[in-house]
Amino acid sequence: MTKPYVDRILTGKVKHLGDAHAENRMDRPWETGIFKSESDDRIWLGTTGFTDDEVADKKNHGGPEKAVFAYPKEHYSYWQMDLELDSIGIGAMGENLSLNNSDEFTVCIGDTYQFGESVIQVAQPRKPCWKPARRFRILDFALRIQRSGRTGWYFRVLQEGYVESGLELELIERPYPQWTIAACNEVMYVNKDDLKLADELASCELLSDNWKKALNKRLRGKRSSVKKRVFGPNKV
């Protein structure tokens, strides 16, 4: 079996963009950490992410359970065709790790990897938000990401240490092979009425608290709209 490896590490600072007087909502002020640059050197990976990396919306991004956002490099050929946009490529989703030989069907919740000096563990799929849509001026982009299943995923950091691009991810443990990222996305976005599956996923010990909370809310019969997340200020 071909091992996944880190093609690139990307980090970036928060940027403040837009024009307060713009008529088009896509041109109005926004704050984002989505713009990342490649790091060629060894870099410190701590429990809340990489040195010199920032997130703007700390309520919905970052933190210990979303310390590192990983996205498969191979997905960009799909997006170039789907969006008819040759310019979209590595870093477009705001990922910290651009990965080869790894995708939503081969990665599971709780997968634990040795990555350089660090140890990282898969915590949850990423819930796509409105910021990639703003970046590329495609209003329904978050919904397209969600529906395609090409969401990427987050790692928590179990052991801090120096890392660098070009390293293989050595799988240490896979406690939940049934809960691939793809399977989790199916439960969250497709099989919404299957409460048995929702309960089983919510009981997965190594799933992030954020996802457990959303699933338990569903189990209590409460549903929430995704419009704020996927459209945000891009749409009235």
For each of the domains in the chain, give its residue range(s) and CATH number, in order of start. Answer: 5-234 (2.40.33.20)
In this predicted model, what pLDDT tens digit does every residue of 91-103 receive, in sequence order? Answer: 999 999 999 999 9
Torsion region of 234: left, alpha or beta (phi above 0 gives left; psi -120 to 50 gives alpha): alpha
One-letter amino acid at 16 equals: H
Question: What are the beta bridge partners of residue 113?
Answer: 120, 171
The residues of the chain scoring below 50 in pLDDT are none
In sequence order, what E strands does 66-207 have? 68-72, 97-100, 112-115, 118-125, 153-159, 161-163, 170-173
Quote the tokens at residue 167.
Answer: 């390293």
One-letter amino acid at 157 equals: V
In this predicted model, what pLDDT tens digit does every residue of 136-145 receive, in sequence order? Answer: 999 999 999 9
pLDDT at 189: 96
**Total-model pTM:** 0.96
Contacts of 71 by beta carbon, 8 Å cutoff, 6+ apart: 93, 95, 97, 98, 99, 152
